[in-house]
Structure 1
Amino acid sequence: MIAIINTGCANINSVRFAFERLGQTPTVITSPEQLAGYERAILPGVGHASVAMKRLVDNGWQQAINEYQRPLMGICLGMQLLCESTEEGNVQCLGKIPGEVKALDVGSLTSPHMGWNNLSVQQAHPLTQGLHADDQVYYVHSFAHTVNNATLVSSEYGQTFSAIVAKDNYAGMQFHPERSAKVGTRLLQNFVDWQL
């Protein structure tokens, strides 16, 4: 059973529909007490990091996520909230994945980074099964996790940044797998199949 955490900072329907296309029946949960009853969980997110982080703390999600021992994956802003800190609002985040989130240094490119981009696998992991060098995924973001030992897959837009990260039972995807066609479907299936 998959829980989709609804903190009020994401369009959760597209994520729910993506899992339903895989034959899963995810449940949208609105209370931290519900989380422990699920085999795996998704933390989606859009918007401003400081607002989303405040909602997580104020509504008791921080403790529930800290105590969760099963696979939990953040998507887009949800991934960034799992990291140590972010420059967006200069806030401390959940600290489950090592590394900082910083504003993308895009140079002369347009910000936010929006559209399709290639993936580069840095480390083999159950979440990267079946990925190829020419695979592309769909991004919408202005901030990104700096590449470090937690980086499984990177992308490049003005700079190299983390596309997929993982540490213990926590993982994150900076792009939107639910909007990334066949590649995104494969990655969501990898999450469903991920055994710790």
Structure 2
Amino acid sequence: MITIVDYDTGNLRSVENALRKLGAQYRLSSSAQEISVAEKILLPGVGEAATAMEKLRERSLAEVIRGATQPVLGICLGMQLLCSHSEEGDSECLGIFPNRVRRLTAAAGIKIPHMGWNRISSLKTKLMTGVAEGDYVYYVHSYAADINGFTIATTNHGTDFSGALGRDNFFGCQFHPEKSGGVGERIFSNFLKI
């Protein structure tokens, strides 16, 4: 069963709907004990990094997530929290990925927040099985993780950034798989099989 971490950060219903559509069993929980014994952990998120990290710490969830040995998938802000640091609120995050999260830069033709459909490329790992180079996914964000050896998908919005990350049992998607149609369903389905 998948446990969706409930720490007051939005988009839970759309994630639940996507999992329900796939026939996946899940539960919402803010309990450190329940999350620590979950089969898989889903860390969604919409909001601001410093506040979200504070909520994880208040519920004693930061250490639970850091110490997880089961598959973990962070979505949007959830992926950013798996990184080492975010410029948003100058936040120290969970440090699973050594990536830094930086504010995207507006430029001619480049609006911030980055909102809408965009392509992913340079795909790696089993999370991306069956996803094609250049497939479109749905983004809503103003901050993004830099690219390094843990980047498993890239996207360009004025500059290249990590569209997805992977390290051991930890994965993250900056985009919203629950809003990304068939591509997002495929990614969720791949996560369910890990």
Residue 4 of structure 1: aligned partner: 4
Corresponding residue SS for 1:120: coil
What is the deviation of 1:30? Answer: 1.6
Contact 2:45 2:75 in 1 (8 A): yes
Residue 105 of structure 1, CA deviation:
2.2
Equivalent position of 1:92 in the other structure: 92
Counterpart residue identity of residue 147, structure 1: I
**Contact 2:3/2:27 (8 A) holds in 1:** yes
Aligned position for 1:185: 185
Unaligned runs of 5+ in 1: none
Q: In structure 1, how many angstroms separate the alpha carbons of the residues matched to 2:157 and 2:64?
A: 34
Distance 2:34 2:113 in 1: 34
Give the TM-score normalised by the residue count of structure 2: 0.97
What is the TM-score when the length of structure 1 is the normalising length? 0.96
Alpha-carbon distance in 1 for matches of 2:193, 2:126: 8
Residue deviations 1:139-163 (CA, integer Å, cap 9, x gap): 0000000010010000000000001
Pairing 1:137-156 to 2, within 5 Å after superposition: 137-156=137-156
Describe the SS at the equivalent of 1:110: coil
Corresponding letter in the other structure for 1:153 = A
- 1:21 corresponds in structure 2 to 21
Alignment partner, residue 76 of structure 1: 76
Percent of matched pairs sharing the same residue = 40
2:42 and 2:81 map into 1 onto residues whose CA distance is 12
CA shift, 1:33, in A, is 1.1
Q: How far is the alpha carbon of 1:96 from its aligned partner?
A: 0.7
Determine the C-alpha separation between the residues in 2 that align with 1:95 and 1:130.
Answer: 29
Q: Tell me the amino acid that sits aligned with residue 155 of structure 1.
A: T
Contact 2:76 2:176 in 1 (8 A): yes
Residue 80 of structure 2 aligns to a residue whose secondary structure is helix
Number of aligned residue pairs: 193
Contact preservation (8 Å) 1:104, 1:142: yes
The amino acid across from 1:106 in the alignment is: A
**Is 2:7–2:56's contact at 8 Å kept on the other side of the alignment?**
yes
Amino acid at match of 1:138: Y
- 1:110: which partner in 2? 111
- 1:168 positional shift: 1.4
CA displacement at 1:98 relative to structure 2? 1.6
**Uncovered stretches (5+) of structure 2, i.e. residues with no partner:** none
**In structure 2, what residue type is equivalent to 1:58?**
E
Tell me how far apart the structure 2 counterparts of residues 185 and 7 of structure 1 sit (CA, whole Å): 24
Counterpart for residue 34 of structure 1: 34
Q: Which amino acid in the other structure matches residue 81 of structure 2?
A: L
Alpha-carbon offset, residue 120 of structure 1: 0.3
Task: Provide the aligned C-alpha RMSD in A.
Answer: 0.9
Q: Do the aligned residues in 1 keep the contact of 2:2 with 2:41 (CA within 8 Å)?
A: yes
Q: After superposing the two structures, state which structure 1 stretch, 171-180 or 28-37, moved more.
A: 28-37
